[in-house]
């Protein structure tokens, strides 16, 4: 028997992941204003933060829905990355989708699918 995808759970997961990202970015920017931070450290921080936010959003969405963990994870990751991309464009980043963005999207989708599979079995 097929179960319907609960879209509200996906939306709540994306929203929670986005709020976690914004909260951590505010803390990081406060720390970076007092000490000098290397560009490599900043790039690694953004990748780790994105991964942890998707993990958190996917676990929340999958726990609320109770099924289709991999699908929930992929959708949360996809919509989260879309929201981050749109916010970046609004904040003045140029509209480009290069290899760096493609790798981050692929990483996000993999993390989302795996965390969804794990969360459905919790």
Rounded average pLDDT over 48-69? 91
Which residues fall within 8 angstroms of residue 105, CB to CB, at 6 or more apart? 81
Q: Calculate what percentage of the chain has a pLDDT beyond 90.
A: 58
Asked whether the beta carbons of 57 and 22 are under 8 A apart, the reply is: no
Rounded average pLDDT over 52-67? 91
The predicted pLDDT at position 1 comes to 44
d(CA 44, CA 64): 30
8-45 pLDDT, tens digit per residue, is: 888 999 999 999 999 999 999 999 899 988 889 888 99
**pLDDT for 5 beyond 80:** no
pLDDT band for position 121 (50/70/90)?
A: confident
**pLDDT for 51 beyond 70:** yes
pLDDT, the chain, mean:
89
What long-range pairs does 41-48 form, CB within 8 A, spacing at least 24?
47/104, 47/107
pTM here? 0.87
């Amino acid at each position: 028997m097929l179960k319907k995808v609960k879209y509200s759970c996906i939306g709540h997961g994306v929203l929670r992941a986005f709020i976690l990202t914004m909260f951590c970015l505010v803390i990081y920017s406060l720390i970076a204003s007092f000490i000098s931070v290397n560009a490599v450290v900043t790039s690694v921080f953004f990748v780790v933060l994105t991964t942890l936010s998707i993990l958190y959003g996917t676990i929340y969405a999958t726990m609320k829905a109770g099924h289709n963990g991999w699908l929930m994870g992929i959708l949360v990751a996809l919509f989260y990355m879309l929201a981050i991309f749109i916010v970046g464009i609004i904040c003045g980043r140029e509209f480009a989708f290069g290899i760096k963005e493609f790798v981050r999207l692929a990483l996000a989708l993999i993390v989302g699918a795996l965390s969804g599979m794990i969360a459905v079995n919790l």
